[in-house]
């Protein structure tokens, strides 16, 4: 059960105390004053005395007690200054130290506003292992996902931007929640219960990813922090009105991002409707396990739990057939790098294919596993969905992303868990119909480790 909790942030920082004793011992002071034998000697000249052989040597003058006390104060002042420097350096790291000590955290912060004045908040989720996800209300978008690599360095593996403005200007759906219907619908139309519905055309003559300005990644969701015993999250809600982008029924949606201490980020989708409709929701995050902007992903090693895929024709609309991956560049049943056979995919200039997963729909089954060798990060994807679309940012060019880094061709990959494209027009595909009284539920998790 998801419950709403107030956000608390507690930091502990203990500085051990130490005592220092300064001064000169009585015996040493006596020896300085009396000489090595303990007998007082009268100087023959300033700073000089005579030894038994008549040669002169330099007299070791005693230190005045006031000078000794002053030196002690100086030493104490230096120690205090050093302690202050340590505190200044350490304070910014307190949240990380708190996480390392077993503190989970969810924080809400302002992130700007839309052109029509709607305020947008961003939610920062942190687990005890240093993994951190940032999700904003605009588009229910995953803005960043920082994961420790094998050396313990935190790497942001999600492509995106540092602030809100580039998202508002338009982008290739970095981190976006996709709806009402993910992927393609042929001819931007479908028939349900004998009624034909015409949708927004935004991919030639077809419909893709929910349509135009009212699709899910272009609206402001209402976010609320949530927390459990071993997880933190953000619950985002939105109501898509009857007729928006051509879809029937008012669709009440809730998406919850949950980060746990097993280093898994789970995305839970829920929806209800007041009229018969169709729904197919996913997340369109682009991943680069070497770090966003740190080169292409062709060297990433991928395994997909699928022996079949959906061949597509014009406009990448599925033909309705289901083919085996064996013997094709789409075969990832055994680990293989993305770049191994990508050049053979001339129609799509890379991977943009829907796989039929081997797991049981409705249960959280393994969909894919990805390994990046330079930093050792492993991402394992599990889902309740029957399919996953592998997309490799084909043709991406000169997009300036985080920290000024430029994203280019194949600089990221997507694993979009979903029902099949054009299911409303393919009766033998798993159904995407949702009726009043029913509840749409789906979940996908991205779990991280290293090797």
Kindly give the pairing relationship between strand 207-208 and strand 184-185.
Answer: antiparallel
Lowest pLDDT segment from 52-66, 309-323, 359-373, 428-442? 52-66
Query: Cα 408 to chain center, whole Å?
Result: 20
Q: Which residues contact 451 (CB under 8 A, 6 or more apart)?
A: 150, 371, 376, 378
Active site residue 416: yes
pLDDT for res 138: 98
Q: Which residues contact 388 (CB under 8 A, 6 or more apart)?
A: 304, 306, 354, 355, 357, 367, 368, 381, 415, 416, 417, 418
pLDDT for res 267: 98
| 280, burial (CB in 10 Å: exposed 0-12, middle 13-18, buried 19+) | buried
Contact 277, 192 (CB under 8 A): yes
Contact 434, 376 (CB under 8 A): no
pLDDT band for 17, please (50, 70, 90 cuts).
very low
pLDDT for res 252: 98
CA atoms within 13 A on the CB side of 188: 17
pLDDT band for 98, please (50, 70, 90 cuts).
very low
Query: Cα 103 to chain center, whole Å?
Result: 18
User: What gap in Å lies between CA 349 and CA 352, rounded to an integer?
Assistant: 9
pLDDT for res 288: 98
User: What gap in Å lies between CA 94 and CA 78, rounded to an integer?
Assistant: 24
pLDDT for res 450: 98
Query: What does the pLDDT look like over 156-174, one tens digit per residue?
Result: 999 999 999 999 999 999 9
| SS3 state at 351 | coil
User: What gap in Å lies between CA 153 and CA 147, rounded to an integer?
Assistant: 8
| 242, burial (CB in 10 Å: exposed 0-12, middle 13-18, buried 19+) | middle
Active site residue 244: no
Contact 136, 118 (CB under 8 A): no
Q: pTM for the full model?
A: 0.79
Tell me which long-range contacts 380-384 makes (C-beta under 8 A, separation of at least 24): 380/446, 380/447, 380/448, 380/449, 381/415, 381/417, 381/444, 381/445, 381/446, 381/447, 382/444, 382/445, 382/447, 383/357, 383/359, 383/417, 383/442, 383/443, 383/444, 383/445, 384/441, 384/442, 384/443, 384/444
Contact 144, 133 (CB under 8 A): yes
pLDDT for res 75: 72
Annotated catalytic residue: which of 238, 284, 300, 410? 284
Pinpoint the alpha helices (H) of 250-289. none
CA atoms within 13 A on the CB side of 82: 6
Query: What does the pLDDT look like over 246-289, one tens digit per residue?
Result: 999 999 999 999 999 999 999 999 999 999 999 999 999 999 99
Per-position DSSP letters for 128-187, written without gaps between them: TTS-EEEEETBTTEEEEEEEE-TTS-EEE-B---SSSHHHHH--S-TT-EE-SB-SEEGG
pLDDT for res 328: 98
Q: Which domains does the chain have, with CATH numbers?
A: 26-95 (no CATH), 108-450 (2.70.98.10)
User: What gap in Å lies between CA 129 and CA 146, rounded to an integer?
Assistant: 11
User: What gap in Å lies between CA 262 and CA 260, rounded to an integer?
Assistant: 5
User: What gap in Å lies between CA 232 and CA 60, rounded to an integer?
Assistant: 69
Q: Which residues contact 361 (CB under 8 A, 6 or more apart)?
A: 384, 385, 386, 430
Is the pLDDT higher at 420 or at 86? 420
């Amino acid at each position: 059960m998801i419950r709403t909790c107030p956000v608390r942030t507690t930091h502990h920082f203990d500085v051990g105390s130490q005592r220092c004793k300064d001064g000169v011992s009585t015996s040493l002071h006596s020896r300085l004053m009396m000489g090595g034998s303990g007998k007082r000697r009268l100087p023959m000249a300033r700073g000089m005395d005579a030894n038994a052989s008549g040669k002169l040597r330099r007299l070791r003058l005693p230190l005045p007690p006031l000078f000794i006390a002053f030196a002690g104060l100086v030493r104490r002042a230096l120690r205090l200054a050093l302690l202050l420097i340590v505190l200044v350096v350490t304070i910014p790291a307190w949240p990380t130290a708190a996480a390392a000590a077993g503190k989970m955290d969810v924080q809400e912060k302002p992130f700007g506003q839309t052109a029509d004045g709607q305020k947008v908040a961003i939610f920062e989720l942190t687990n005890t292992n240093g993994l951190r996800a940032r999700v904003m209300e605009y588009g229910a978008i995953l803005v960043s996902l920082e994961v420790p690599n094998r050396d313990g360095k935190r790497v942001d593996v999600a492509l995106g931007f540092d602030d809100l403005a580039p998202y508002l200007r338009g982008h290739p759906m970095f981190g976006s929640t996709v709806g009402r219907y993910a992927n393609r619908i042929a001819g931007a139309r479908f028939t349900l219960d004998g009624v034909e519905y015409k949708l927004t055309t935004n991919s030639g003559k077809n419909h893709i990813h929910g349509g135009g300005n009212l699709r899910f990644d272009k609206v402001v969701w209402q976010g609320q922090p949530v927390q459990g015993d071993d997880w933190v999250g953000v619950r985002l809600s939105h109501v898509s009105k009857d007729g928006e982008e051509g879809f029937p029924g008012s669709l009440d949606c809730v998406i919850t991002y949950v980060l746990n201490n097993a280093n898994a980020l789970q995305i839970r989708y829920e929806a209800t409707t007041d009229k018969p409709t169709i729904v197919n929701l996913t997340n369109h995050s682009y991943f680069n396990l070497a770090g966003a902007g740190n080169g292409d992903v062709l060297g990433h090693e991928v395994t997909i739990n699928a022996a079949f895929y959906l061949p597509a024709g014009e406009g990448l609309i599925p033909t309705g057939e289901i083919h085996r991956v064996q013997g094709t560049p789409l075969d990832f049943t055994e680990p293989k790098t993305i770049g191994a056979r990508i050049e053979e995919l001339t129609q799509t200039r890379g991977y943009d294919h829907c796989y039929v997963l081997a797991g049981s729909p409705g249960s959280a089954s393994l969909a894919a596993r990805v390994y990046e060798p330079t930093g050792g990060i492993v991402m394992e994807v599990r889902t309740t969905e029957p399919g996953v679309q592998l997309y490799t940012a084909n043709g991406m060019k000169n997009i300036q992303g985080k920290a000024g880094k430029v994203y280019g061709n194949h600089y990221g990959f997507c694993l979009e868990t979903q029902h099949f494209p054009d299911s409303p027009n393919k009766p033998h595909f798993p159904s995407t119909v949702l009726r009043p009284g029913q509840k749409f539920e789906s979940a996908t998790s991205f779990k991280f480790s290293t090797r």
